[in-house]
Amino acid sequence: MPDSENALYYGDNLRILKNHLIDESVDLIYLDPPFNSKADYNILFKEQSGEPSQGQIKAFSDTWQWSEGAYIEFINECQNEKLCSLLEGFVNTIGRNDVTAYLTMMAPRLQELHRVLKPTGSLYLHCDPAASHYLKLILDCVFSPINFRNEIIWRRTNAKSLAFTNFAKNHDIIFRYSKSNKWIWNPQYLPHDEEYVRKFYKYSDEHGRKYRLSDLTNPNKNRPNLTYEFLGVTRVWRWTKKRMQQSYEKGVIVQKKPGSVPQFKRFLDEQSGNPIDDIWSDVRPVQANAAERLGYPTQKPLGLLERIISSSSKEGDVVLDPFCGCGTAIASAQKLKRNWIGIDITHLAVSLIQARLRDMYAIVSGTDYHIEGVPETESAARVLAQQDRFEFQKWAVSLVPNVYPLEGKGADEGIDGRGSFPEITDQQKIARRKIVIQVKSGKITLSAIRDFGHVIEREKAALGFFITLEKPTAKMSIEANKMGFFTSHLFQSQKIPRYQIRTIQDLFSGLQFELPPTLGMGIEGVKRAQRAVSKSEQPEIDFTDPN
């Protein structure tokens, strides 16, 4: 794949890394692999013979459960003896459980990420303290301890837990490694503290520029070549006499009174600010009322990713996020004029990123970037339905603009997706009307059509969308039509069928579900991404308040 081509992949990132990304093709990698830190710590270590609470480890166990086959496959194929021994040590000491399943998953992926990283590239691994110590040892084996650069503490504004029995958990860890002893680095700064400016920059010149007076003497007193008289004062100076004279003539060296030691005017507007250290307490998490909030449970703030990408890449570089979730790294890379590659194993994430890029930057797949692993034909959709009907359901719902699939498997009560739209009521107020969606990947029957009608009534939904691979019969269409029509208060002449059926081929062909002409479609649960401003409108990046 060409480095300059932006791409979004659906599927297992290990397979995609091996089959699609060539050696040393990526400049910067950021990954935030899922790890359910909200679970009780003992739950994470409970053996597979135990019965941990499904609710407590749902996000974790849905993805990473112990697999003896995966472990043996890694041990047999691993070419890194130290890494192999390390993982065997983990399994022998802490057992075969969800944690070692997680580490077995991470080890081969970190090896592949090291392979695709350029010699001047960097990797940032975002993780929870519950697993960070294990992951750092794996990173040391893959990247070498000499290439460890930082352990960044991201202190969130909101604590993760209440302090009834423990100190409140209020930070994540981000490990930064380079691939070699030469790496891209762009120092980042925070503005000077207002109190610091008030205290030290207490002078202003005739143009209103604030400055402080800085010492010009040399701390090394054994410098004969820099020892001379200047303005009647003999000292060991920092600069040569020629440079001192030139600076004096420019007006940036002042002597308060005859005989006093000359000092240098250090202007505030020429200072970069305070260099950012490895404790980040200024970047807020995504607040409930933040404009960038999408409703994705593990969403990271744009300011966090903008800082990382700005620090360790330059315009035109390739940024890779192999666990891209709702796409914050992708959105930040797009804003900062980097190329990008995103990978995720859920259609929910892929469809959300597509919507986010469309809403923020007005870019679409197929034109501005390519997308792989998502069905683009009816036959490919049938293959996905056979492989994983739950992922098929999520993907099918994603074909409908501005609705979202439900997460989880099982008791969905006949609903695979939800949405809503605004309507003006008789009282001239805005109310949101429900949309419910059901997806069928196999053969459909008249009773299935009838059952979804009951779901529409039960949910008091304004509209019900039924998505199917198979074409409905005439009797099925008649049954759906019995639900009647929805009429908007403002557009009473336009009647919208309450119960609508579309095949996958219909949606591929552009035959979408009908909606009333309203103030605009809205999402219930996952919000639209805020439109990104143009370059001319963009202020300087201020990492003190990324929200």
* CA 203 centroid distance within chain: 44
Q: Any alpha helices (H) in 399-467, and if so which ranges?
A: 446-458
Q: Position of tokens 């700064």?
A: 189
- Would you state the CATH architecture of domain 378-508? 3-Layer(aba) Sandwich (3.40)
Q: Which residue has the higher pLDDT, 521 or 154?
A: 154
Confidence band, pLDDT 50/70/90 cuts, at residue 162: low
Mean pLDDT value across residues 179-207: 90
Tokens of 304: 């966090």
Mean pLDDT value across residues 113-124: 98
- Residue 62 confidence (pLDDT) above 50: no
Single out the residue of 328, 292, 303 nearest to residue 529, CA to CA: 292
- 116/320 Cα distance (integer angstroms): 10
Phi-psi region of 373 (alpha: psi -120 to 50; beta: other; left: phi over 0): left
Report whether CATH 3.40.50.300 matches the domain 7-188+277-372: no
Q: Is the separation of the CB atoms in 207 and 330 below 8 Å?
A: no
- Residue 72 confidence (pLDDT) above 90: yes
Q: Is the separation of the CB atoms in 546 and 283 below 8 Å?
A: yes
Q: Position of tokens 């691979």?
A: 469
- Residue 538 confidence (pLDDT) above 60: no
Predicted local distance difference test score (pLDDT) of residue 489 = 73
- 57/54 Cα distance (integer angstroms): 6
Single out the residue of 495, 483, 478 nearest to residue 457, CA to CA: 483
Confidence band, pLDDT 50/70/90 cuts, at residue 403: confident
Q: What residues form DSSP beta bridges with 465? A: 437, 500
What would the DSSP string read from start to end of 357-394? Answer: HHHHH---BTTTBEEESS--SHHHHHHHHHH-HHHHHH
Confidence band, pLDDT 50/70/90 cuts, at residue 408: low
Query: Phi and psi of 375, rounded to 5°?
Result: -55, 135
Q: pLDDT tens for residues 196-248?
A: 888 889 899 988 999 999 999 999 989 999 999 999 999 999 999 999 999 99
Residue type, 110: L
Query: Phi and psi of 91, rounded to 5°?
Result: -65, -40
Tokens of 413: 């009560």
Reduced to 3 states (helix: H, G, I; strand: E, B; else coil), residue 140 is helix
Integer distance in angstroms from the first to the last C-alpha of the chain?
Answer: 34
- 378/503 Cα distance (integer angstroms): 10
Mean pLDDT value across residues 169-174: 92
Percent of the chain with pLDDT over 70: 85
Predicted local distance difference test score (pLDDT) of residue 76 = 93
Predicted local distance difference test score (pLDDT) of residue 295 = 67
- 148/329 Cα distance (integer angstroms): 22
Q: pLDDT tens for residues 374-396?
A: 888 899 899 989 988 888 998 89
- 145/433 Cα distance (integer angstroms): 57
Highest-pLDDT range among 59-68, 358-367, 443-452: 443-452
Q: Which residue has the higher pLDDT, 463 or 347?
A: 463
- 324/318 Cα distance (integer angstroms): 15
Query: How do the domains of the chain map onto residue ranges?
Result: 7-188+277-372, 190-270, 378-508
Percent of the chain with pLDDT over 90: 58
Predicted local distance difference test score (pLDDT) of residue 112 = 97
Judged by average pLDDT, the poorest of 411-420, 443-452, 463-472 is 411-420
Number of neighbours of residue 447 by Cβ within 10 angstroms: 9
- 34/349 Cα distance (integer angstroms): 13
Predicted local distance difference test score (pLDDT) of residue 292 = 81
Query: Phi and psi of 511, rounded to 5°?
Result: -85, 90
Within this chain, domains 7-188+277-372 and 378-508 share the same CATH topology: no
- 290/372 Cα distance (integer angstroms): 31
- 139/109 Cα distance (integer angstroms): 11
